[in-house]
Amino acid sequence: DDKKLQEYNVGGKVIHLVERAPPQTQLPSGASSGIGSASATHGGGPPPGTRGPGASVHDRNANSYVMVGTFNLPSDGSAVDVHINMEQAPIQSEPRVRLVMAQHMIRDIQTLLSRMECRGG
């Protein structure tokens, strides 16, 4: 939208951003476009779980990357600290993708803790 971040009252707060890749325009192998699959038992429309003619089918595992970002918005208006982690990997199952992302987050946390311990001691 056209609003500025100041209008959302986020000064001094941490904002976490997560974005999935946009849906692919091609059909996954073996998928039906829904054309010719209308059924009289469903009022002439496509059966539940299918799409109508011209609709794109979106497989939520079809996109092989997730972009995660975090940034701090200082309340005094100074510079914004931005960290974006974008990874692309072979297509994997959703549980595997979540596990790999959790492993990366743990690694990042361990690195941050090590830095903080070095500063404090």
What's at 30, amino acid-wise? G
Residues 78, 71 contacting (CB under 8 angstroms): no
What gap in Å lies between CA 91 and CA 84, rounded to an integer?
21
In this structure, what DSSP letter does residue 49 have? T
pLDDT > 70 fraction of the chain, expressed in percent and rounded? 34
What gap in Å lies between CA 79 and CA 10, rounded to an integer?
14
Instruction: State phi, psi for 70 to the nearest 5 degrees.
Output: -135, 140
Condensed to tens digits (0 to 9), the pLDDT of residues 73-82 reads 566 666 656 5
Condensed to tens digits (0 to 9), the pLDDT of residues 7-49 reads 777 777 777 766 666 666 665 555 544 444 444 444 444 444 4
Q: Which of 96, 24, 90, 86 is nearest to 60 (CA)?
A: 24
